[in-house]
């Protein structure tokens, strides 16, 4: 399990729009990754909305934000639309 400040292993995945994201492309930069179990559940919604409500802090610091869960593109798009999330959600369908 990763702890705050740990370097995450490199991975390649896609966003809810099919855009490929490779973690190593952000080498040398700070990014904010948050992991949540499932789209459209109350706890995950509260977590994502809390980050949304503080998104300007990340934006002003030029820190990209990505949510990561096992949801599908369709599920992620719905979650983003329902909660007006300003950041992409990444696929981790195998929970790796």
pLDDT tens-digit series, residues 2-59 = 787 787 788 899 999 999 999 999 998 999 999 999 999 999 999 999 999 999 999 9
Inter-residue contact 63 to 30 (CB < 8 Å): yes
Q: 31-91: what CATH class? A: alpha beta
Structure tokens that stand for 84 in this block: 């007006």
Question: Could you tell me the pLDDT band of residue 95, with boundaries at 50, 70 and 90?
Answer: low
Is 44 catalytic? The answer is yes
pLDDT tens-digit series, residues 50-87 = 999 999 999 999 999 999 998 889 999 999 999 999 99
| Domain range summary for the chain, segments of one domain joined by + | 31-91
Q: Which of 15, 44, 71, 79 is catalytic?
A: 44
Q: Count other Cβ atoms within 10 Å, centred on residue 95.
A: 9
């Amino acid at each position: 399990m990763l702890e705050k400040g740990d370097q995450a292993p490199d991975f390649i995945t896609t966003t809810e729009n099919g855009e490929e994201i490779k973690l190593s492309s952000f080498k040398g930069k700070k990014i904010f990754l948050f992991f949540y179990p499932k789209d459209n559940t109350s706890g995950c919604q509260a977590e994502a909305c809390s980050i949304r409500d503080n998104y300007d802090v990340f934006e002003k610091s030029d820190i990209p934000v990505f949510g990561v869960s096992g949801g599908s593109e369709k599920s992620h798009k719905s979650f983003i639309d329902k909660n007006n999330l300003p950041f992409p959600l990444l696929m981790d369908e195998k929970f790796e």
